[in-house]
Structure 1
Amino acid sequence: MTQVAARLEELIQDKANDTLTPSSCSSPQSTTQSHVASARCSQAAFPIPGAKVAEVDYRDGSGITPVRKRRYAAHDWRSDATNLLVISPTGGRTTYLACALALAACHSEHSVLYSRTDDLARRLGIARGNGITHQKLLKELSNIDLLIIDDFLTVGIESDAASDLFSILANRKHRLPTMIASQTGPAHWNAELPDGIAADSILKRLANNARIIDLGQIDMRRHCDSKARAHEPYWE
């Protein structure tokens, strides 16, 4: 494991959080703005289109508190280039939280792009066949207000995709934030990237300017399934 990966593991274990929240002084959206936000959410095709920050479970050990929920729901992503890493083993509902934050960002008039790592690598691979299309996609991914990459390096990616990922993260550095949602941590990411130098460069761009939400070891998927089965209208 590189020093960067080791440092990122230390950050993930650090439970210290700020307790301040941004002032809530935004004016209500107009009907037009609301329609635009709804259209933006629909076009994004989030895998959980009904995800809501208010419904994110913040039980002890989950790494998310009411304060953090309010802060991220009202966050101005364009004015803060700090990355966000959401880490949890399978079942921790990282995708739900990512979708909830993405939907809140859309309603705050941010441009958002969500993609799983494998889908993103496939899309980049197809675009690579045409130089103009490839550069256009890299520019889009570099300039979107909030880029969300889910299931980050759950499986390995090819060297060309890793090179594109480095380029995107380098272009966004100090400009715009990237949200990473993953069931694994930096040690696994380092191993799944095909080139050691590229791995170190990518991890630096994620680790050196990042906030961490460690959702802990709670299997929220199982908890929610059990809760649904206990609900009267549920049937199998």
Structure 2
Amino acid sequence: MTFTDIDYDKFRALRVTRVAARLEQLIGDEANDELTPEQLFLTAVDDALEDRRAHKVDKLIRAAGLPIPEANVAEIDYRGINPVRMKRYAAHDWAADPTNLLVISPTGGGKTYLACAIGIAACHNGHAVTYARMDSLARQLVITRADGIAHQKLLNDLSNTDLLIIDDFLTVGIDSDAASDLFAILANREHRLPTMIASQTGPAHWVAELPDRVAADSIVNRLANNARTINLGQIDMRRQRQDQARTTDGYWE
């Protein structure tokens, strides 16, 4: 059986083109000769839905801007991280739980990979994720201030994404304008949507780094008082992965 161009025009009008294309493939495969029309149709529907879901996930991951798009929760083997806890983060409904997540470790501790892995898992669960490094985000906020509409859109986007990931949080200081925008974003997200912070330091240092003490207390309070924390300790994952690479065949330096 082969569908005609007229048939496909009808399918497009009904928005079932993927189902029709998959059904045609199934019918053309001799291995399916013993299946009933109903079985073939339901299989085509399931395959089309899975294809649509995979396309949506790919789109969410691309839109998130994650620097390690191949990061995977299943591959995290850091000492001190409970695998059961990581599975919970991988399956977490971020849009329904506004609890923040703080990932703390010194440089090289693997916090960026961990944040990306959790972000990708969130995308697979259908959540909109936005990743930003703090220094880059601060520059973007300052630049868009020249255009009131663009600036407000950026604030709205960051306020409303299901999971906001801010990496290298306050590794370097930010100016008062960026701090003011950060306060607005976190205030808008409070009790509605979670924010993930990946940082080399903890809340006490953040207060000292922010330019205005009152704003600093408000920002840190919103982040830390309703949060779970993953402390990665003192492991240098970059060095550990480099040491592991040296033991593999074909390694040279």
TM range (shorter): 0.7 to 0.9
**Structure 2: where are the runs of 5+ without partners?**
1-45
- Helix, strand or coil for the counterpart of 2:197? strand
TM value normalised by structure 1: 0.84
1:213 is the counterpart of 2:230: yes
1:137 is the counterpart of 2:154: yes
1:35 is the counterpart of 2:35: no
Q: Decide which structure has the larger Cα Rg and report it.
A: 2
- Helix, strand or coil for the counterpart of 1:120? helix
Residue in structure 1 matching 2:122, options 94, 102, 105: 105
| CA distances 1:179-211 after superposition (whole Å, capped 9, x unpaired) | 000011122211110010011000100111100
| CA distance, structure 1, for counterparts of residue 67 and residue 156 of structure 2 | 24
| CA distance, structure 1, for counterparts of residue 224 and residue 198 of structure 2 | 14
Match in the other structure for 2:36: none
Given that 1:116 and 1:151 are in contact with CA atoms closer than 8 Å, whether structure 2 keeps it comes out as yes
State the one-letter code of the partner of 1:36.
Answer: K
1:177 deviates by: 0.2
State the one-letter code of the partner of 2:71.
Answer: A
| CA distance, structure 2, for counterparts of residue 209 and residue 45 of structure 1 | 26
Given that 2:166 and 2:197 are in contact with CA atoms closer than 8 Å, whether structure 1 keeps it comes out as yes
State the one-letter code of the partner of 1:135.
Answer: Q
Match in the other structure for 1:55: 75
1:168 deviates by: 0.3
Over 6 Å off, 4+ runs: none
| CA distance, structure 2, for counterparts of residue 128 and residue 54 of structure 1 | 40
State the one-letter code of the partner of 1:144.
Answer: T
Match in the other structure for 2:163: 146
Match in the other structure for 1:166: 183
Given that 1:87 and 1:94 are in contact with CA atoms closer than 8 Å, whether structure 2 keeps it comes out as yes
| CA distance, structure 1, for counterparts of residue 95 and residue 159 of structure 2 | 13
Higher relative contact order (CA 8 A, sep 6+): 1
1:116 is the counterpart of 2:136: no
Cα RMSD (Å) of the superposition?
1.5
Task: Give the paired residue count.
Answer: 207
1:42 deviates by: 2.3
1:156 deviates by: 0.1
- Helix, strand or coil for the counterpart of 2:103? strand
| CA distance, structure 2, for counterparts of residue 166 and residue 151 of structure 1 | 17
* Structure with the higher fraction of residues in helix conformation: 2
State the one-letter code of the partner of 1:53.
Answer: V
Given that 2:65 and 2:130 are in contact with CA atoms closer than 8 Å, whether structure 1 keeps it comes out as no
| CA distance, structure 1, for counterparts of residue 120 and residue 134 of structure 2 | 19
TM value normalised by structure 2: 0.79
1:218 deviates by: 1.3
State the one-letter code of the partner of 1:159.
Answer: S
1:195 is the counterpart of 2:215: no
Between the aligned residues of both structures, percent identity stands at: 67
Match in the other structure for 2:248: 231
1:234 deviates by: 2.2
1:75 deviates by: 0.5
